[in-house]
Amino acid sequence: MLHKDLYTKYELLLPPKLDGGYLVIVLYEKIKNREIEEYFTQKEINDILSDIKFEFNLENIRPWNNIKDQLFHYFLRNIPDEPWKYYLTEYAKDVVGLMIGKLENSHKDLPLKKSIQDSFTIRYGEIETIDELERKFGRIFIQGSKKIIIDHLEALEDELRGAYKALNDILRKEDEQSATSLVRDFTIIFKKFGQRAEDITEAIIFKDQFLSSLLSVVDHFYRKLEDDGKFSPNDVQKSRADWEKAQDIYTDIRNFFNSVDLKVHIIRRQINHASEKLTELQEQFSVRASFRLQLKKLHRTMLEISEYTSDGVRFRNNFSLKQFVYEPLRMFYARYYEFEQPQPNYIVSIEADERYERIEKDKIEKEISRQQIINQWVDKAKNMLEDRGQLAVDELMNMVLNTEKDLSVAYQVASRMIAYVSENNEVSIDIEQKIISLPQQNLSLWKTKIMK
User: Is it the case that residue 18 has pLDDT exceeding 80?
Assistant: yes
Query: pLDDT, tens digit, for every residue of 134-163?
Result: 888 887 777 877 777 787 777 777 777 777
Looking at this protein, which amino acid is placed at residue 208?
A: D
Spatial contact of 217 and 121, defined as CB atoms under 8 Å apart: no
Question: CA–CA separation, 171 vs 176, rounded Å?
Answer: 10
What is the three-class DSSP state of 434? strand
Helix (H), strand (E) at residue 314: strand 312-315
Closest to 236 (Cα-Cα) out of 245, 228, 248: 228
Question: CA–CA separation, 30 vs 52, rounded Å?
Answer: 13
pLDDT at 107: 63
User: Is it the case that residue 305 has pLDDT exceeding 80?
Assistant: no
pLDDT at 143: 81
Query: pLDDT, tens digit, for every residue of 59-72?
Result: 888 888 888 888 98
Phi, psi of 48 (to 5 degrees): -65, -40
Spatial contact of 200 and 267, defined as CB atoms under 8 Å apart: yes
Spatial contact of 134 and 141, defined as CB atoms under 8 Å apart: yes
pLDDT at 175: 58
User: Is it the case that residue 321 has pLDDT exceeding 60?
Assistant: no
Domains 4-103 and 366-451 share a fold: yes
- Terminal C-alpha separation, the chain: 64
pLDDT at 445: 73
Name which CATH class applies to 4-103. mainly alpha
Looking at this protein, which amino acid is placed at residue 50?
A: S
pLDDT at 171: 67
* pLDDT class of 285 with cuts at 50, 70, 90: low
Closest to 206 (Cα-Cα) out of 322, 113, 143: 113
Pairing of strands 312-315, 85-88: unpaired
Q: Is the dihedral of CA 391, 374, 116, 126 positive or negative?
A: negative
User: Is it the case that residue 192 has pLDDT exceeding 80?
Assistant: no
User: Is it the case that residue 220 has pLDDT exceeding 80?
Assistant: yes
User: Is it the case that residue 2 has pLDDT exceeding 80?
Assistant: no
pLDDT at 189: 66
pLDDT at 178: 62
DSSP state of 360: H
User: Which residues, at least 6 apart from 221, have a Cβ–Cβ distance to it below 8 Å?
Assistant: 130, 239, 242, 243, 246
* pLDDT class of 174 with cuts at 50, 70, 90: low
Query: pLDDT, tens digit, for every residue of 433-452?
Result: 777 776 666 677 777 788 87
Per-position DSSP letters for 101-114, written without gaps between them? HHHT-TTTTS-HHH
Lowest mean pLDDT of 9-18, 79-88, 299-308, name the range. 299-308
Domain residues of the chain, as ranges? 4-103, 112-285, 366-451
Question: CA–CA separation, 198 vs 334, rounded Å?
Answer: 57
pLDDT at 69: 87
Most confident among 85-89, 189-193, 207-211, 326-330 (mean pLDDT)? 85-89
DSSP state of 14: S
* pLDDT class of 27 with cuts at 50, 70, 90: very high
β-bridge partners, 88: 76
Q: How many CB atoms lie within 10 A of CB 246?
A: 23
Query: pLDDT, tens digit, for every residue of 70-120?
Result: 898 889 998 888 878 899 999 999 888 888 877 776 666 667 777 777 777
DSSP state of 57: T
pLDDT at 281: 66
Query: pLDDT, tens digit, for every residue of 362-407?
Result: 888 888 888 888 888 888 888 888 888 888 888 888 888 888 877 7
* pLDDT class of 318 with cuts at 50, 70, 90: low
Q: State which CATH number among 3.30.420, 1.10.10, 1.10.1040, 2.30.29 fits the domain covering 366-451.
A: 1.10.10
Q: At what angle do helices 130-137 and 236-305 cross, to 10 degrees?
A: 40
Spatial contact of 24 and 15, defined as CB atoms under 8 Å apart: yes
pLDDT at 377: 86
Question: CA–CA separation, 90 vs 76, rounded Å?
Answer: 9
